Structure 1
Protein backbone atom coordinates (compact mmCIF):
# COMPACT_ATOMS: atom_id res chain seq x y z
CA UNK A 1 0.00 0.00 0.00
CA UNK A 2 1.30 3.45 -0.93
CA UNK A 3 1.60 5.78 2.03
CA UNK A 4 -0.63 8.87 1.73
CA UNK A 5 1.28 12.14 2.00
CA UNK A 6 -0.27 14.69 4.37
CA UNK A 7 1.10 18.18 4.94
CA UNK A 8 0.07 20.11 8.03
CA UNK A 9 0.05 23.81 7.20
CA UNK A 10 1.32 26.04 9.99
CA UNK A 11 3.18 29.34 10.40
CA UNK A 12 6.81 30.26 9.98
CA UNK A 13 6.92 31.44 13.58
CA UNK A 14 6.90 28.63 16.14
CA UNK A 15 4.89 28.70 19.36
CA UNK A 16 4.55 26.17 22.16
CA UNK A 17 0.79 25.74 21.71
CA UNK A 18 1.05 25.33 17.93
CA UNK A 19 3.94 22.89 18.27
CA UNK A 20 2.03 20.72 20.72
CA UNK A 21 -1.07 20.65 18.50
CA UNK A 22 0.92 19.78 15.39
CA UNK A 23 3.18 17.18 17.00
CA UNK A 24 0.22 15.26 18.40
CA UNK A 25 -1.46 15.17 14.98
CA UNK A 26 1.84 14.35 13.26
CA UNK A 27 2.36 11.37 15.55
CA UNK A 28 -1.22 10.13 15.03
CA UNK A 29 -0.94 10.37 11.24
CA UNK A 30 2.40 8.57 11.27
CA UNK A 31 0.98 5.78 13.45
CA UNK A 32 -1.72 5.30 10.80
CA UNK A 33 0.81 4.88 8.02
CA UNK A 34 0.80 8.37 6.55
CA UNK A 35 3.89 10.23 5.39
CA UNK A 36 3.20 13.44 7.31
CA UNK A 37 5.11 16.65 7.90
CA UNK A 38 4.57 20.28 8.91
CA UNK A 39 5.21 23.15 6.48
CA UNK A 40 4.65 26.92 6.74
CA UNK A 41 1.59 27.87 4.68
CA UNK A 42 3.55 30.62 2.92
CA UNK A 43 6.39 28.32 1.83
CA UNK A 44 6.90 28.22 -1.92
CA UNK A 45 5.64 25.23 -3.91
CA UNK A 46 9.16 24.09 -4.71
CA UNK A 47 9.99 24.07 -0.98
CA UNK A 48 6.78 22.67 0.53
CA UNK A 49 5.67 20.46 -2.36
CA UNK A 50 1.96 21.20 -1.97
CA UNK A 51 1.06 19.56 -5.27
CA UNK A 52 2.85 16.34 -4.28
CA UNK A 53 0.67 15.94 -1.18
CA UNK A 54 -2.46 13.83 -1.19
CA UNK A 55 -3.97 16.16 1.39
CA UNK A 56 -3.08 19.50 2.98
CA UNK A 57 -4.70 20.26 6.30
CA UNK A 58 -4.74 23.85 7.56
CA UNK A 59 -4.06 23.62 11.27
CA UNK A 60 -2.05 26.39 12.96
CA UNK A 61 -1.86 29.16 10.35
CA UNK A 62 -2.45 31.62 13.16
CA UNK A 63 -1.01 34.61 11.29
CA UNK A 64 -3.44 34.45 8.35
CA UNK A 65 -5.67 37.30 9.57
CA UNK A 66 -2.79 39.71 9.08
CA UNK A 67 -2.53 38.59 5.45
CA UNK A 68 -5.99 37.34 4.55
CA UNK A 69 -5.80 38.06 0.82
CA UNK A 70 -2.42 36.35 0.52
CA UNK A 71 -3.64 33.40 2.59
CA UNK A 72 -6.78 32.89 0.53
CA UNK A 73 -4.73 33.14 -2.66
CA UNK A 74 -2.48 30.37 -1.32
CA UNK A 75 -5.51 28.30 -0.31
CA UNK A 76 -7.01 28.68 -3.79
CA UNK A 77 -3.82 27.64 -5.55
CA UNK A 78 -3.33 24.73 -3.14
CA UNK A 79 -6.92 23.59 -3.59
CA UNK A 80 -6.30 23.46 -7.34
CA UNK A 81 -3.50 20.88 -7.01
CA UNK A 82 -4.47 18.73 -4.00
CA UNK A 83 -7.19 18.12 -1.42
CA UNK A 84 -7.48 21.00 1.05
CA UNK A 85 -9.09 20.63 4.46
CA UNK A 86 -11.18 22.30 5.56
CA UNK A 87 -12.49 23.11 2.04
CA UNK A 88 -11.65 26.36 0.27
CA UNK A 89 -15.27 27.56 0.27
CA UNK A 90 -15.34 27.23 4.05
CA UNK A 91 -12.12 29.23 4.45
CA UNK A 92 -13.36 32.03 2.23
CA UNK A 93 -16.64 32.24 4.17
CA UNK A 94 -15.23 31.86 7.66
CA UNK A 95 -12.29 34.25 7.26
CA UNK A 96 -14.53 37.33 7.56
CA UNK A 97 -16.81 37.69 10.58
CA UNK A 98 -19.75 38.84 8.49
CA UNK A 99 -20.69 35.18 8.84
CA UNK A 100 -22.08 36.13 12.29
CA UNK A 101 -24.66 38.35 10.61
CA UNK A 102 -25.49 35.52 8.21
CA UNK A 103 -25.88 33.05 11.08
CA UNK A 104 -28.30 35.41 12.80
CA UNK A 105 -30.34 35.74 9.59
CA UNK A 106 -30.50 31.96 9.44
CA UNK A 107 -32.00 31.85 12.93
CA UNK A 108 -28.88 30.76 14.82
CA UNK A 109 -28.58 32.43 18.25
CA UNK A 110 -25.53 34.72 18.09
CA UNK A 111 -24.17 37.70 19.99
CA UNK A 112 -26.06 40.66 18.43
CA UNK A 113 -23.67 41.97 15.77
CA UNK A 114 -23.65 45.05 13.57
CA UNK A 115 -21.25 45.07 10.62
CA UNK A 116 -19.98 48.48 9.49
CA UNK A 117 -18.27 48.35 6.06
CA UNK A 118 -14.94 50.10 5.64
CA UNK A 119 -15.17 53.44 3.89
CA UNK A 120 -18.94 53.64 4.21
CA UNK A 121 -21.08 56.10 6.18
CA UNK A 122 -21.81 55.39 9.82
CA UNK A 123 -23.56 57.04 12.71
CA UNK A 124 -21.61 58.26 15.72
CA UNK A 125 -21.80 55.85 18.63
CA UNK A 126 -23.77 56.67 21.76
CA UNK A 127 -22.79 56.37 25.43
CA UNK A 128 -23.75 52.70 25.93
CA UNK A 129 -20.85 50.31 26.60
CA UNK A 130 -19.96 48.14 23.63
CA UNK A 131 -17.29 45.97 22.10
CA UNK A 132 -15.67 46.92 18.81
CA UNK A 133 -13.38 44.70 16.76
CA UNK A 134 -12.06 44.26 13.21
CA UNK A 135 -14.13 41.88 11.07
CA UNK A 136 -10.91 40.08 10.09
CA UNK A 137 -8.91 39.34 13.23
CA UNK A 138 -8.12 36.65 15.77
CA UNK A 139 -6.93 36.29 19.34
CA UNK A 140 -8.62 39.49 20.51
CA UNK A 141 -6.42 41.64 18.27
CA UNK A 142 -7.86 45.13 17.80
CA UNK A 143 -10.77 44.54 20.21
CA UNK A 144 -11.93 47.47 22.34
CA UNK A 145 -14.47 47.74 25.15
CA UNK A 146 -15.90 50.95 26.53
CA UNK A 147 -18.58 53.62 26.19
CA UNK A 148 -19.40 54.05 22.52
CA UNK A 149 -18.99 57.81 22.71
CA UNK A 150 -15.37 57.28 23.81
CA UNK A 151 -14.64 54.97 20.88
CA UNK A 152 -15.72 57.05 17.89
CA UNK A 153 -12.13 57.98 17.11
CA UNK A 154 -11.13 54.33 17.40
CA UNK A 155 -13.97 53.33 15.11
CA UNK A 156 -12.85 55.81 12.46
CA UNK A 157 -9.30 54.43 12.69
CA UNK A 158 -10.45 50.81 12.39
CA UNK A 159 -12.72 51.63 9.44
CA UNK A 160 -9.76 53.14 7.62
CA UNK A 161 -8.23 49.64 7.64
CA UNK A 162 -11.23 47.35 7.14
CA UNK A 163 -14.75 46.35 8.13
CA UNK A 164 -15.69 46.58 11.81
CA UNK A 165 -18.05 44.66 14.11
CA UNK A 166 -20.02 46.33 16.89
CA UNK A 167 -21.45 44.15 19.67
CA UNK A 168 -22.98 44.71 23.10
CA UNK A 169 -20.89 43.91 26.15
CA UNK A 170 -21.51 40.30 27.21
CA UNK A 171 -21.43 40.64 30.99
CA UNK A 172 -21.38 36.88 31.60
CA UNK A 173 -17.88 36.53 30.14
CA UNK A 174 -16.39 38.05 33.30
CA UNK A 175 -17.99 35.42 35.52
CA UNK A 176 -18.82 32.42 33.32
CA UNK A 177 -16.22 32.84 30.60
CA UNK A 178 -16.52 31.51 27.05
CA UNK A 179 -17.22 27.89 26.12
CA UNK A 180 -15.40 26.20 23.22
CA UNK A 181 -17.05 23.08 21.80
CA UNK A 182 -14.91 20.95 19.51
CA UNK A 183 -16.21 18.61 16.83
CA UNK A 184 -13.91 16.15 15.08
CA UNK A 185 -15.33 14.00 12.33
CA UNK A 186 -18.98 13.41 13.18
CA UNK A 187 -18.58 13.59 16.97
CA UNK A 188 -18.50 16.42 19.49
CA UNK A 189 -15.33 15.36 21.20
CA UNK A 190 -14.44 17.67 24.08
CA UNK A 191 -14.99 21.19 25.39
CA UNK A 192 -13.21 23.82 27.47
CA UNK A 193 -14.24 26.89 29.38
CA UNK A 194 -12.02 29.94 28.87
CA UNK A 195 -12.09 32.50 31.68
CA UNK A 196 -10.58 36.00 31.47
CA UNK A 197 -8.20 37.43 34.04
CA UNK A 198 -9.78 39.46 36.82
CA UNK A 199 -11.01 42.76 35.40
CA UNK A 200 -10.43 41.62 31.79
CA UNK A 201 -12.77 40.73 28.96
CA UNK A 202 -10.44 38.76 26.66
CA UNK A 203 -10.29 35.04 27.42
CA UNK A 204 -7.15 34.08 25.48
CA UNK A 205 -4.20 32.81 27.50
CA UNK A 206 -2.04 35.45 25.84
CA UNK A 207 -4.24 38.04 27.58
CA UNK A 208 -4.04 36.35 30.97
CA UNK A 209 -7.04 34.03 30.58
CA UNK A 210 -7.16 30.48 31.86
CA UNK A 211 -8.85 27.26 30.74
CA UNK A 212 -10.66 24.41 32.40
CA UNK A 213 -12.36 21.28 31.12
CA UNK A 214 -16.08 21.59 30.50
CA UNK A 215 -19.05 19.33 29.75
CA UNK A 216 -21.41 20.86 27.19
CA UNK A 217 -25.15 20.92 27.74
CA UNK A 218 -27.66 19.56 25.24
CA UNK A 219 -28.77 23.11 24.38
CA UNK A 220 -25.20 24.25 23.76
CA UNK A 221 -24.60 21.29 21.44
CA UNK A 222 -27.86 22.03 19.62
CA UNK A 223 -26.84 25.63 18.97
CA UNK A 224 -23.33 24.63 17.92
CA UNK A 225 -24.76 22.09 15.47
CA UNK A 226 -27.12 24.69 14.00
CA UNK A 227 -24.19 27.05 13.44
CA UNK A 228 -22.18 24.32 11.70
CA UNK A 229 -25.19 23.61 9.52
CA UNK A 230 -24.67 27.01 7.88
CA UNK A 231 -21.17 26.14 6.67
CA UNK A 232 -20.94 26.19 2.86
CA UNK A 233 -19.33 22.73 2.88
CA UNK A 234 -18.84 19.82 5.31
CA UNK A 235 -15.81 20.09 7.60
CA UNK A 236 -13.63 17.47 9.28
CA UNK A 237 -13.02 19.59 12.38
CA UNK A 238 -14.58 22.67 13.94
CA UNK A 239 -14.70 24.76 17.08
CA UNK A 240 -17.77 26.70 18.14
CA UNK A 241 -17.31 29.38 20.82
CA UNK A 242 -20.38 30.17 22.91
CA UNK A 243 -21.19 32.72 25.61
CA UNK A 244 -24.30 33.32 27.70
CA UNK A 245 -26.32 36.35 26.66
CA UNK A 246 -29.61 37.26 28.32
CA UNK A 247 -29.51 33.92 30.06
CA UNK A 248 -29.14 31.82 26.90
CA UNK A 249 -26.11 30.33 25.07
CA UNK A 250 -25.27 32.14 21.83
CA UNK A 251 -22.48 31.88 19.27
CA UNK A 252 -19.54 34.20 19.78
CA UNK A 253 -17.41 32.76 16.98
CA UNK A 254 -17.39 29.80 14.59
CA UNK A 255 -13.82 28.59 13.98
CA UNK A 256 -13.49 26.49 10.81
CA UNK A 257 -10.09 27.48 9.38
CA UNK A 258 -7.31 27.02 11.92
CA UNK A 259 -9.00 26.47 15.28
CA UNK A 260 -6.95 25.61 18.30
CA UNK A 261 -8.57 22.27 19.13
CA UNK A 262 -6.83 22.08 22.52
CA UNK A 263 -5.45 18.64 21.71
CA UNK A 264 -2.87 19.15 24.45
CA UNK A 265 -5.76 18.93 26.94
CA UNK A 266 -7.27 15.85 25.25
CA UNK A 267 -4.34 14.21 23.42
CA UNK A 268 -6.37 11.10 22.63
CA UNK A 269 -8.46 13.20 20.23
CA UNK A 270 -5.43 13.58 17.92
CA UNK A 271 -6.16 10.06 16.70
CA UNK A 272 -9.75 10.96 15.93
CA UNK A 273 -8.52 14.01 14.03
CA UNK A 274 -6.06 11.91 12.00
CA UNK A 275 -8.84 9.43 11.19
CA UNK A 276 -11.18 12.23 10.10
CA UNK A 277 -8.52 13.55 7.72
CA UNK A 278 -7.52 10.21 6.26
CA UNK A 279 -11.17 9.31 5.68
CA UNK A 280 -11.26 12.21 3.22
CA UNK A 281 -8.86 10.22 1.05
Structure 2
Protein backbone atom coordinates (compact mmCIF):
# COMPACT_ATOMS: atom_id res chain seq x y z
CA UNK A 1 0.00 0.00 0.00
CA UNK A 2 0.96 3.65 -0.30
CA UNK A 3 0.96 6.06 2.64
CA UNK A 4 0.56 9.59 1.33
CA UNK A 5 2.59 12.47 2.74
CA UNK A 6 3.59 15.96 1.61
CA UNK A 7 6.64 17.21 -0.22
CA UNK A 8 6.95 20.33 1.96
CA UNK A 9 6.09 19.87 5.63
CA UNK A 10 5.52 22.43 8.39
CA UNK A 11 7.15 19.99 10.79
CA UNK A 12 8.68 16.49 10.59
CA UNK A 13 6.26 13.56 10.51
CA UNK A 14 6.59 11.99 13.98
CA UNK A 15 4.60 8.81 13.54
CA UNK A 16 4.32 7.29 10.07
CA UNK A 17 7.37 5.14 10.79
CA UNK A 18 5.37 3.55 13.63
CA UNK A 19 2.61 2.64 11.19
CA UNK A 20 5.08 1.27 8.64
CA UNK A 21 6.54 -0.99 11.34
CA UNK A 22 3.09 -2.15 12.51
CA UNK A 23 2.12 -2.98 8.94
CA UNK A 24 5.39 -4.84 8.39
CA UNK A 25 4.54 -7.05 11.35
CA UNK A 26 1.50 -8.10 9.33
CA UNK A 27 3.62 -8.75 6.26
CA UNK A 28 2.41 -5.60 4.50
CA UNK A 29 4.86 -3.33 2.69
CA UNK A 30 4.02 0.37 2.82
CA UNK A 31 5.66 3.02 0.63
CA UNK A 32 5.57 6.63 1.88
CA UNK A 33 5.03 8.97 -1.07
CA UNK A 34 4.19 12.67 -1.58
CA UNK A 35 0.72 13.20 -3.02
CA UNK A 36 1.97 15.50 -5.78
CA UNK A 37 4.83 13.28 -6.97
CA UNK A 38 4.75 11.33 -10.22
CA UNK A 39 3.45 7.91 -9.21
CA UNK A 40 1.50 5.06 -10.73
CA UNK A 41 -1.13 5.12 -7.99
CA UNK A 42 -3.07 2.33 -9.70
CA UNK A 43 -0.17 -0.01 -8.86
CA UNK A 44 -1.19 0.21 -5.19
CA UNK A 45 -4.40 -1.61 -4.25
CA UNK A 46 -4.72 0.75 -1.27
CA UNK A 47 -3.68 4.40 -1.00
CA UNK A 48 -3.93 5.90 2.48
CA UNK A 49 -3.89 9.67 2.96
CA UNK A 50 -1.68 10.17 5.97
CA UNK A 51 0.41 13.32 6.37
CA UNK A 52 0.09 15.65 3.35
CA UNK A 53 0.58 18.66 5.58
CA UNK A 54 1.01 20.98 2.61
CA UNK A 55 -2.36 20.22 1.00
CA UNK A 56 -4.13 23.38 2.19
CA UNK A 57 -1.70 25.53 0.22
CA UNK A 58 -2.70 23.69 -2.97
CA UNK A 59 -6.28 22.77 -2.14
CA UNK A 60 -7.75 22.56 -5.65
CA UNK A 61 -4.84 20.46 -6.90
CA UNK A 62 -5.03 18.19 -3.85
CA UNK A 63 -8.76 17.61 -4.18
CA UNK A 64 -8.31 16.90 -7.90
CA UNK A 65 -5.57 14.40 -7.04
CA UNK A 66 -7.88 12.67 -4.55
CA UNK A 67 -10.63 12.38 -7.16
CA UNK A 68 -8.26 11.00 -9.79
CA UNK A 69 -6.67 8.56 -7.39
CA UNK A 70 -10.00 7.29 -6.08
CA UNK A 71 -10.93 6.44 -9.68
CA UNK A 72 -7.76 4.34 -10.01
CA UNK A 73 -7.61 2.51 -6.69
CA UNK A 74 -9.07 2.25 -3.19
CA UNK A 75 -8.45 5.57 -1.42
CA UNK A 76 -8.90 6.12 2.30
CA UNK A 77 -10.28 8.20 3.58
CA UNK A 78 -12.67 8.46 0.62
CA UNK A 79 -12.46 11.46 -1.67
CA UNK A 80 -15.95 12.54 -0.58
CA UNK A 81 -14.82 12.72 3.04
CA UNK A 82 -11.64 14.57 2.09
CA UNK A 83 -13.52 17.21 0.08
CA UNK A 84 -16.13 17.68 2.83
CA UNK A 85 -13.52 17.94 5.58
CA UNK A 86 -11.18 20.29 3.69
CA UNK A 87 -13.23 23.40 4.50
CA UNK A 88 -14.20 24.13 8.09
CA UNK A 89 -17.70 24.89 6.85
CA UNK A 90 -18.57 21.31 7.78
CA UNK A 91 -18.76 22.64 11.37
CA UNK A 92 -21.61 24.90 10.30
CA UNK A 93 -23.43 21.89 8.88
CA UNK A 94 -22.93 19.88 12.07
CA UNK A 95 -24.13 22.77 14.25
CA UNK A 96 -27.27 23.06 12.13
CA UNK A 97 -27.89 19.36 12.77
CA UNK A 98 -27.72 19.89 16.52
CA UNK A 99 -24.14 18.81 17.20
CA UNK A 100 -22.49 20.81 20.00
CA UNK A 101 -19.88 22.99 18.28
CA UNK A 102 -17.86 25.99 19.44
CA UNK A 103 -19.96 29.08 18.53
CA UNK A 104 -18.72 30.42 15.20
CA UNK A 105 -19.23 33.49 13.03
CA UNK A 106 -18.77 32.61 9.35
CA UNK A 107 -17.61 35.34 6.97
CA UNK A 108 -17.38 34.53 3.28
CA UNK A 109 -14.55 35.64 1.03
CA UNK A 110 -14.78 39.30 -0.01
CA UNK A 111 -17.78 39.87 2.29
CA UNK A 112 -18.57 43.50 3.07
CA UNK A 113 -18.07 45.02 6.54
CA UNK A 114 -16.60 41.98 8.31
CA UNK A 115 -15.65 44.12 11.30
CA UNK A 116 -19.23 45.23 11.81
CA UNK A 117 -20.43 41.65 11.69
CA UNK A 118 -17.90 40.68 14.33
CA UNK A 119 -18.77 43.64 16.55
CA UNK A 120 -22.43 42.60 16.42
CA UNK A 121 -21.57 39.32 18.15
CA UNK A 122 -20.65 41.12 21.37
CA UNK A 123 -17.64 38.88 21.98
CA UNK A 124 -14.68 40.12 23.99
CA UNK A 125 -11.69 37.93 23.13
CA UNK A 126 -11.79 35.96 19.89
CA UNK A 127 -9.79 33.69 17.61
CA UNK A 128 -9.83 34.63 13.93
CA UNK A 129 -8.73 31.96 11.46
CA UNK A 130 -9.06 30.92 7.82
CA UNK A 131 -11.67 28.29 7.00
CA UNK A 132 -9.05 26.30 5.08
CA UNK A 133 -5.88 25.69 7.06
CA UNK A 134 -4.14 23.28 9.44
CA UNK A 135 -2.23 23.48 12.71
CA UNK A 136 -3.52 26.94 13.73
CA UNK A 137 -1.69 28.49 10.74
CA UNK A 138 -3.22 31.91 10.13
CA UNK A 139 -5.01 31.98 13.50
CA UNK A 140 -4.92 35.06 15.72
CA UNK A 141 -6.12 35.33 19.30
CA UNK A 142 -7.04 38.93 20.01
CA UNK A 143 -9.57 41.29 21.55
CA UNK A 144 -12.45 41.80 19.16
CA UNK A 145 -12.10 45.60 19.42
CA UNK A 146 -8.34 45.62 18.75
CA UNK A 147 -7.42 47.31 15.45
CA UNK A 148 -5.06 44.38 14.83
CA UNK A 149 -8.08 42.09 14.89
CA UNK A 150 -9.85 44.05 12.17
CA UNK A 151 -6.68 44.22 10.08
CA UNK A 152 -6.17 40.44 10.33
CA UNK A 153 -9.82 39.74 9.64
CA UNK A 154 -9.88 41.95 6.55
CA UNK A 155 -6.65 40.39 5.29
CA UNK A 156 -8.05 36.87 5.61
CA UNK A 157 -11.43 37.78 4.11
CA UNK A 158 -9.64 39.20 1.06
CA UNK A 159 -8.11 35.76 0.45
CA UNK A 160 -10.82 33.30 1.47
CA UNK A 161 -13.59 32.30 3.85
CA UNK A 162 -13.01 33.07 7.52
CA UNK A 163 -14.29 31.78 10.85
CA UNK A 164 -14.29 33.71 14.11
CA UNK A 165 -14.89 32.06 17.47
CA UNK A 166 -15.01 33.37 21.00
CA UNK A 167 -11.83 32.39 22.81
CA UNK A 168 -12.58 29.23 24.80
CA UNK A 169 -10.70 29.80 28.05
CA UNK A 170 -10.75 26.14 29.03
CA UNK A 171 -8.17 25.49 26.28
CA UNK A 172 -5.56 27.56 28.13
CA UNK A 173 -6.52 25.97 31.44
CA UNK A 174 -7.26 22.32 30.60
CA UNK A 175 -6.28 21.89 26.96
CA UNK A 176 -8.00 20.12 24.10
CA UNK A 177 -9.02 16.46 24.08
CA UNK A 178 -8.53 14.29 20.99
CA UNK A 179 -10.34 10.99 20.49
CA UNK A 180 -8.93 8.74 17.76
CA UNK A 181 -11.04 6.23 15.84
CA UNK A 182 -10.04 3.55 13.32
CA UNK A 183 -12.82 2.15 11.17
CA UNK A 184 -15.31 3.93 13.40
CA UNK A 185 -14.04 2.10 16.50
CA UNK A 186 -12.51 4.03 19.39
CA UNK A 187 -8.76 3.39 19.75
CA UNK A 188 -7.27 5.91 22.19
CA UNK A 189 -7.41 9.47 23.44
CA UNK A 190 -4.98 12.17 24.49
CA UNK A 191 -5.12 15.67 25.93
CA UNK A 192 -3.08 18.42 24.28
CA UNK A 193 -2.13 21.33 26.50
CA UNK A 194 -0.66 24.66 25.35
CA UNK A 195 2.55 26.17 26.61
CA UNK A 196 2.20 28.71 29.40
CA UNK A 197 0.82 31.95 28.02
CA UNK A 198 -0.27 30.39 24.71
CA UNK A 199 -3.54 28.88 23.51
CA UNK A 200 -2.28 26.76 20.60
CA UNK A 201 -1.95 23.12 21.59
CA UNK A 202 0.19 21.98 18.65
CA UNK A 203 3.72 20.85 19.51
CA UNK A 204 5.31 23.32 17.10
CA UNK A 205 4.04 26.06 19.44
CA UNK A 206 5.25 24.31 22.57
CA UNK A 207 2.11 22.26 23.26
CA UNK A 208 2.44 18.97 25.14
CA UNK A 209 0.57 15.65 24.95
CA UNK A 210 -0.85 13.85 27.99
CA UNK A 211 -2.73 10.62 28.59
CA UNK A 212 -6.50 10.97 28.73
CA UNK A 213 -9.44 8.71 29.50
CA UNK A 214 -12.49 10.15 27.74
CA UNK A 215 -15.71 10.71 29.62
CA UNK A 216 -19.00 9.20 28.54
CA UNK A 217 -20.08 12.64 27.30
CA UNK A 218 -16.91 12.99 25.20
CA UNK A 219 -17.34 9.52 23.66
CA UNK A 220 -21.00 10.18 22.94
CA UNK A 221 -20.28 13.49 21.20
CA UNK A 222 -17.33 12.13 19.21
CA UNK A 223 -19.34 9.21 17.91
CA UNK A 224 -22.24 11.49 16.96
CA UNK A 225 -19.78 13.63 15.00
CA UNK A 226 -18.48 10.62 13.07
CA UNK A 227 -22.02 9.69 12.08
CA UNK A 228 -22.27 12.97 10.16
CA UNK A 229 -19.33 12.26 7.84
CA UNK A 230 -20.50 11.69 4.24
CA UNK A 231 -18.88 8.23 4.17
CA UNK A 232 -17.30 5.79 6.59
CA UNK A 233 -13.82 6.73 7.80
CA UNK A 234 -10.83 4.42 8.25
CA UNK A 235 -9.22 6.98 10.53
CA UNK A 236 -10.46 10.11 12.27
CA UNK A 237 -9.53 12.38 15.12
CA UNK A 238 -12.25 14.26 16.98
CA UNK A 239 -11.00 17.33 18.85
CA UNK A 240 -13.14 18.52 21.76
CA UNK A 241 -12.96 21.34 24.28
CA UNK A 242 -15.03 22.21 27.31
CA UNK A 243 -17.39 25.16 26.83
CA UNK A 244 -20.09 26.25 29.25
CA UNK A 245 -19.70 23.06 31.24
CA UNK A 246 -19.96 20.52 28.43
CA UNK A 247 -17.77 19.10 25.68
CA UNK A 248 -18.12 20.75 22.28
CA UNK A 249 -16.54 20.03 18.93
CA UNK A 250 -13.51 22.07 17.95
CA UNK A 251 -12.70 20.07 14.80
CA UNK A 252 -13.11 16.71 13.11
CA UNK A 253 -9.82 15.79 11.44
CA UNK A 254 -10.37 13.23 8.68
CA UNK A 255 -7.75 14.16 6.06
CA UNK A 256 -4.25 14.25 7.55
CA UNK A 257 -4.49 14.25 11.34
CA UNK A 258 -1.64 13.39 13.61
CA UNK A 259 -3.04 10.28 15.27
CA UNK A 260 -0.64 10.05 18.21
CA UNK A 261 0.31 6.50 17.31
CA UNK A 262 2.96 6.45 20.01
CA UNK A 263 0.56 7.45 22.76
CA UNK A 264 -0.45 3.91 23.69
CA UNK A 265 1.16 0.51 23.06
CA UNK A 266 -1.71 -0.59 20.80
CA UNK A 267 -2.38 2.59 18.79
CA UNK A 268 -0.24 1.82 15.74
CA UNK A 269 -1.36 -1.83 15.74
CA UNK A 270 -5.01 -0.75 15.85
CA UNK A 271 -4.51 1.43 12.79
CA UNK A 272 -2.57 -1.30 10.99
CA UNK A 273 -5.42 -3.73 11.63
CA UNK A 274 -7.94 -1.37 10.05
CA UNK A 275 -5.70 -0.79 7.04
CA UNK A 276 -5.10 -4.51 6.64
CA UNK A 277 -8.87 -4.93 6.51
CA UNK A 278 -9.18 -2.16 3.91
CA UNK A 279 -6.42 -3.82 1.88
CA UNK A 280 -8.34 -7.11 1.92
CA UNK A 281 -11.47 -5.29 0.78
CA UNK A 282 -9.55 -3.61 -2.05
CA UNK A 283 -7.92 -6.85 -3.20
CA UNK A 284 -11.27 -8.66 -3.14
CA UNK A 285 -12.66 -6.01 -5.47
CA UNK A 286 -9.80 -6.69 -7.85
TM tier, shorter chain? Answer: over 0.9
Q: Assess if the C-alpha contact under 8 Å between 2:20 and 2:29 holds in 1.
A: no
Distance 1:157 1:14 in 2: 24
Q: Which of these residues, 261, 264, 267, is aligned with residue 263 of structure 1?
A: 261
CA-CA distance at 1:277 after TM superposition? 1.5
CA-CA distance at 1:167 after TM superposition? 0.5
Provide the secondary structure at the position in 2 that maps to 1:80: helix
Q: Assess if the C-alpha contact under 8 Å between 2:235 and 2:254 holds in 1.
A: yes
Matched, 1:274 2:272: yes
Q: Which of these residues, 42, 50, 54, is aligned with residue 59 of structure 1?
A: 50
- The corresponding residue for 1:242 is 240
Q: Assess if the C-alpha contact under 8 Å between 1:101 and 1:114 holds in 2.
A: no
CA-CA distance at 1:89 after TM superposition? 0.3
Q: Assess if the C-alpha contact under 8 Å between 1:179 and 1:191 holds in 2.
A: yes
Matched, 1:23 2:26: no
Matched, 1:88 2:79: yes
Cα 1:24–1:165 change in 2 (3 A) is same
Matched, 1:155 2:153: yes
- The corresponding residue for 2:284 is none
Distance 2:125 2:202 in 1: 21
Q: Deviations over 1:200-223 (max 9, x none)?
A: 111111111111010000100000
Provide the secondary structure at the position in 2 that maps to 1:226: helix
- The corresponding residue for 1:75 is 66
CA-CA distance at 1:187 after TM superposition? 2.2
Matched, 1:43 2:37: yes
Q: Which of these residues, 23, 30, 34, is aligned with residue 28 of structure 2?
A: 34
Q: CA RMSD in A?
A: 1.5
- The corresponding residue for 2:217 is 219
Give aligned pairs, total.
Answer: 272
Q: Assess if the C-alpha contact under 8 Å between 2:184 and 2:226 holds in 1.
A: no
CA-CA distance at 1:70 after TM superposition? 1.2
Provide the secondary structure at the position in 2 that maps to 1:34: coil
Matched, 1:142 2:138: yes
Q: Assess if the C-alpha contact under 8 Å between 2:10 and 2:54 holds in 1.
A: no
Q: Is 230-239 or 6-15 further displaced after alignment?
A: 6-15
State the 4+ residue runs in structure 1 displaced beyond 6 angstroms.
none
Alignment of 1:102-141 (within 5 A): 102-123=93-114, 124=116, 125-126=118-119, 128-141=124-137
Cα 1:239–1:161 change in 2 (3 A) is same
Alignment of 1:188-199 (within 5 A): 188-199=186-197
Normalising to structure 1: TM-score of the pair?
A: 0.93
Give structure 1 stretches of 5+ with no counterpart.
1-5
Q: Which of these residues, 180, 183, 186, is aligned with residue 182 of structure 1?
A: 180
Matched, 1:12 2:21: no
Distance 1:9 1:23 in 2: 12
Alignment of 1:160-175 (within 5 A): 160-175=158-173
